[in-house]
Amino acid sequence: MRKSQTGWWFIAPATLHLLVFAFVPVAYAAYVSLFRWDILRDERTFVGLDQYQRLMADQAFWGSMGQTFKYALMAVPGGLVAALLVALAVSQPLKGMAWFRTLFYIPAVSSGVAIAMLWIYVYLPERGLINTMLMGLGQPSIDFLNESGWALPALAFMSVWVGLGPRMIIYVAGLMSLPVTVYEAASLDGASGWQKFWRMTMPLLAPTHLFVLVTSTIGAFQTFTPVYMMTNGRPMGSTNLVGYHIYVTAWENFNVSAASAQSFVLLFLLGLVSLAQFRMMRRRLEGYDAS
């Protein structure tokens, strides 16, 4: 009894923190979404699910959701492939690999704002790093952040770079946990390097793929800092990702009720996407088991 009481005391601070800073705000946001609430005039009217109904016809919100899907489709697979390749490289038993892992991880511990500032310079027309290289190759300069066809891929590319470190570390952990004996047996059976990678490493890493896929997708849907710092949703709404759109609704348009409703719709859709990803991976795992 005393033991369990001690355990409760230990988890009390974290539980309290979670309650106060996560559960209570989420519950309060749900409550706010049921009102038409003018925070500047402090006038509120209970409207039930009216905010959600209006949201169904809100073109700007669904437009931002569409852009976010596009962004996720660019950033997540790209991020997974890049992280896996780097993880494979830094898992080689070579000298100095620990340094490389550290180097790749540095962006993850840097400030999001500082990173966004850095990438503004990388993408600068004419004088930016990428344009200097392009012009060196005789190509015209591209205004990456102000051309509607380029701005979203530019943000997605940056997110691949930023997320590389954490994803790589997870993949490295996954690779290290793979059973060596299976590989030895495969070598004895004459399996090539590619066969070992494709038929053994990839399936054995399935739980890691799933974890990275789900967390990266959630992260892509929560993207805010680069949009706020680099594009403000422009040009032509091409980078108006849903996280930023919710922020603008709440704190630029001061419509906190609509923003709360938008957050819950996003939560619901993310839940669906994550569920679909779980099911898809489980089916694939079962397929591997059967084969």
Partner 1 sequence: MEGLPTSSALSRRAVLAAGAALALAGCGPRLVGARTVRYANWGSPGDDSDAMRLVRGLYEDFELSTGVDLRVENIPGSQEYLRKVLLSYVAKSEPDVITLDASSAAIFIENGVLQDLMPFVNGANGVLLEEFFPNVVEIAKRGDALYALPVDFNPVLVYYNRAMFAAAGVPEPRDGWTFEDFRATARALTKGEQYGFEFANWMPGWIMWLWNHGGDVLSPDGRRAQGYLDAEPCVEAVQFLHDLVERDKVAPRLSQAASMGVDLFANARSAMKVSGHWELVGLASAPKVNLDEVGVVSFPTRLENPITVAYEAGLAMGRHARNLEDAWEFIRFFTSEATQMEYQRTGIAICARQAVAEKMATTEVKQAFVRAARTARVPWGARVPKYDQVERIGQDMMDRVMQHGTKPAEALRSAAQQIDEVFRDA
Binding site for partner 1 (CB under 8 A): 39-42, 54, 60, 124-127, 131, 140-143, 146-148, 234-237, 251-255
Question: Any idea what DSSP says for residue 128?
Answer: S
Q: Which is nearer to partner 1, 126 or 184 (CB)?
A: 126
DSSP string over 198-250: IIIIHHHTHHHHHHHHHHHHHHHHT--HHIIIIITT-STTTT--HHHHHHHHH
Q: Which is nearer to partner 1, 141 or 277 (CB)?
A: 141
Q: Which is nearer to partner 1, 131 or 260 (CB)?
A: 131
Nearest distance from residue 124's CB to partner 1, in Å? 7
Angle separating helix axes 242-251 and 59-90, nearest 10 degrees? 130
Q: Which is nearer to partner 1, 153 or 237 (CB)?
A: 237
Nearest distance from residue 18's CB to partner 1, in Å? 25
Q: How many helices (H) and strands (E) does the chain have?
A: 15, 2
Q: Which is nearer to partner 1, 102 or 148 (CB)?
A: 148
CB 37 within 8 A of CB 257: yes
Nearest distance from residue 215's CB to partner 1, in Å? 30
End-to-end CA distance of the chain: 50
Nearest distance from residue 131's CB to partner 1, in Å? 8
Q: Which is nearer to partner 1, 19 or 60 (CB)?
A: 60
Residue 163, token pair as written in the block: 């997320």
CB 75 within 8 A of CB 160: yes
Nearest distance from residue 269's CB to partner 1, in Å? 22
Give the separation between CA 58 and CA 62, rounded to whole angstroms: 6
Nearest distance from residue 126's CB to partner 1, in Å? 4
CA-CA distances (angstroms) from residue 22 to 16, 26, 287?
Answer: 10, 6, 38
Nearest distance from residue 159's CB to partner 1, in Å? 23
Q: Which is nearer to partner 1, 93 or 138 (CB)?
A: 138
Parallel, antiparallel, or unpaired for β 43-46 and 35-38?
Answer: antiparallel
Give the separation between CA 211 and CA 216, rounded to whole angstroms: 8
Residue 66, token pair as written in the block: 């569409």
